[in-house]
Structures are given as C-alpha cells and as structure tokens.
A = this chain, B = another copy of it.
Amino acid sequence: MNNKRVTSFDVAELAGVSRSTVSFVFSEDKQSRIRPETRQKVREAAEKLGYYPNASARALASNQSNTIGLIMTRSPRYIASDNFLPQIIGGLLDIVNQAQLGLLIEWVEPGQQIETYLQLTRAKHIDGMIILTPRFDDPGLTALEQIDIPCVLMGQIPECDLPYVDIDNRASAKLAVDYLIELGHRQIACITNAATAYSSASQRLEGYRDALKAADIALDESLIRIADFDAASGYTQMKDLLKEYPRFSAIFVASDNVALGALAAIHDAGLSVPEDISLVGFDDIPEAAFYYPKLTTVHTPAKEIAEESCHLLMQLLKGETPFSRTINIPTQLIIRESTRMIERSHITTC
C-alpha cells in the first residue's frame, strides 16, 4: 500500500548510485557497462522497493513501445466465431512472452484502413504490426509500404510488397481437390472460406479451379458458393447448394469452420458423409479431428505461422535483414473419414 509511486530515482537513492546507473542496469543491452556488484546492489534495492520501470516513460524516451499489434481485418461479429484465431493468438503469445513484448489486438473497419494504420503507427502505440487475413481491396496496405513501420502480413497479397508469412493456399487447395478427383469424383462443388476480397479465399478458389482444369473437368459455376468464416454461413450455403444435388458427389469447403455448418446441412437433408457426399475441409483446426465424420482436411500449421510471423516482425524491429521477407509454410493433406471412393451408383446416376 505504498501511497507514492516508486521511480528509478528512489532505487538510485537506496542503492547509493545515480539514476543513470539504475537505467543501465534495467536495459540489459550493455551488460558490460556496470560492475556486477553495483548491478547487484541496484537489483536488491529495486526488489525491496517494488520498482517496475514505467512503460510509458520508457517508450517515450527510447521511442519504442515494446508492443506489437495484431490487426484483424474484419468486424467483431466475425471474429467471434473464428476458431482459427485462438491458435494464432496462442502462438503469438508464446513468442511475445519470451521476448518480453506486449501484444495489442486491434480491429480495422473496412473503409477506415489507412486512417487506422496511420494512427496506430504514428501514435507509436506499437512498434510493428501483424495483419491477419489481409484483403485485396485494402488501400491501407500500399500506404504501409511507404512507411517505415515494420509490418508483416499473415497472408499474401500479390501486388503488395510487404513481407508476409503464408501457406500456398492455391496449391494446397488444389491438393485437396486433386484428392477428391483421385477418389473418382468428377462433380465437385466448392464453398469458399470467406468473401473473395480476402486473399486466402480467392487463392483457394483458384486452387479448386486449377485442379478441375488439370483433370479436364469443366468448371460449373453453379456449384460454387461464397461463405463468411463461420459455420452458420456454411450451413446456409450448403443448404442452397443441395438444390443442385445429386449434380455433385463431393465438395471442397475451404475452411473447417464453414465445413462444420456444411456437414450439418447435409445431415439435415438426410444425406451422409462420406456415403453420399465426400467432403474435404481446410485449416485442420483442432476440432476437425472430432467432427462427425472426422474431417479430411488440409493441415495449416497455425502455430508455426504465428511464430514465424512474430519472428519475422521481431527481426525487422531490430533492424536486422531477415533471410527472406517472404515465408511459405508447407501444408499437408490429412485424410480422415469424410472422404471415400465414389459410389458406382453415383457414377451411373449422372
């Protein structure tokens, strides 16, 4: 219940040294400058007084806040049902904690991007930022390119020169659809993970197209639906898509979250997976292995993505030149129980 805030001055006084010495002790960079016994004295004094360096003062003086920002590109309504997010946050927290950094979470409204990015960076609330799920139509990104603040994209925007960490969405999606084709399916529907303004969504859709083309299957636009991150949208889109059944025997759903909703719609229609419809998801969120049926899906190493993004950003913060400004994390098709060889009956049906 100390009524007065304790500052480095108090510590200095108690330790019988100057304030600068205290400051040196607490900025671990130049360890060698202070004699070990002096350092010890200071540490003890600080301990006794319960001294914690003031973050704001430190940030002001040193011009770095020791905090990084995680910027989300969608509204809280969609954030609330994104089961990919905890993995990202968990991964970031892990690294950030080790590096003694803070993690600030922000959300940017479409149309406000430039303003928000500038505000965040200029106000120096954060030293750098990670942008989760960037959008093609984000004018703020080009603005960021011209600014000094370190910034890493979790996801790739083709025209954009910012450093990024991503998976190869297009190739991974193709992998998934290839597998369906390999199982004998020729009529394959698709539900995206999000609006195509999100790079991951359009890239995964491209992968779907690639696979069909490679197998000489004509693209049927009527078998494509656009979802919105969550299971509810997957349910709605699948329900709509089922009007076309049995014009398809398999489906690629570009997000496990969305796939869960799609599964429910299929069950509600009295059909089953994989007997009537084979389904491949994307992301391999931790729950995917427990869905009914257990989801065949593309494993996206969320933790690794988070960690690599964070490492990359930290390198940029230190002014180091990273080995590469762009990092691609490999994915992997996980085969579980939501897919199977096409039924002979199905082949004759159409």
Using a CB–CB distance below 8 Å, which chain A residues touch chain B? 1, 5, 50, 52-57, 59-60, 65, 67, 72, 76-83, 85-87, 89-91, 93-94, 97, 102-107, 118-119, 122-125, 146, 230-232, 234-235, 257, 260-261, 263-264, 267, 286-287, 289-292, 294, 302-303
Report the bound CA distance from A1 to B235 in whole Å.
47
A76: chain B residues within 8 A (beta carbon):
89-91, 93-94, 97
Give the shortest distance, in Å, between A315 (CB) and chain B (any CB): 21
Cβ-defined contact, A287 with B303, below 8 A: no
Give the shortest distance, in Å, between A130 (CB) and chain B (any CB): 13
Q: Which residue of B lies closest to A107 (CB)?
A: B93
Cβ-defined contact, B232 with A286, below 8 A: yes
| With contact pairs A290-B231, A290-B261, A294-B264 given, residues A85 and B89 touching in the complex (Cβ less than 8 Å) | yes
Closest 4 CB pairs of A and B: A80-B90, A56-B59, A76-B90, A52-B122
Interface of chain A, main secondary structure? helix
New contact pairs (15) apart from A85-B86, A93-B106, A102-B125, CB-CB < 8 Å: A1-B146, A54-B60, A55-B59, A55-B125, A56-B65, A56-B124, A76-B94, A80-B87, A83-B83, A86-B86, A89-B105, A93-B105, A102-B104, A260-B291, A261-B290
Report the bound CA distance from A118 to B5 in whole Å.
13
Choice from B52, B79, B260, B290 contacting A86 with Cβ under 8 Å: B79
Report the bound CA distance from A97 to B260 in whole Å.
30
Cβ-defined contact, B87 with A86, below 8 A: no
Q: Which residue of B lies closest to A294 (CB)?
A: B264
Cβ-defined contact, B290 with A81, below 8 A: no
Report the bound CA distance from A264 to B291 in whole Å.
7
A107: chain B residues within 8 A (beta carbon):
93, 97
Cβ-defined contact, B79 with A93, below 8 A: yes
| With contact pairs A60-B60, A93-B76, A124-B54 given, residues A287 and B231 touching in the complex (Cβ less than 8 Å) | yes
A292: chain B residues within 8 A (beta carbon):
263-264, 267, 291-292
Cβ-defined contact, B87 with A286, below 8 A: no
A232: chain B residues within 8 A (beta carbon):
286, 289-290
Report the bound CA distance from A104 to B125 in whole Å.
11
A103: chain B residues within 8 A (beta carbon):
104-106
Choice from B77, B87, B122 contacting A90 with Cβ under 8 Å: B77
Give the shortest distance, in Å, between A175 (CB) and chain B (any CB): 24
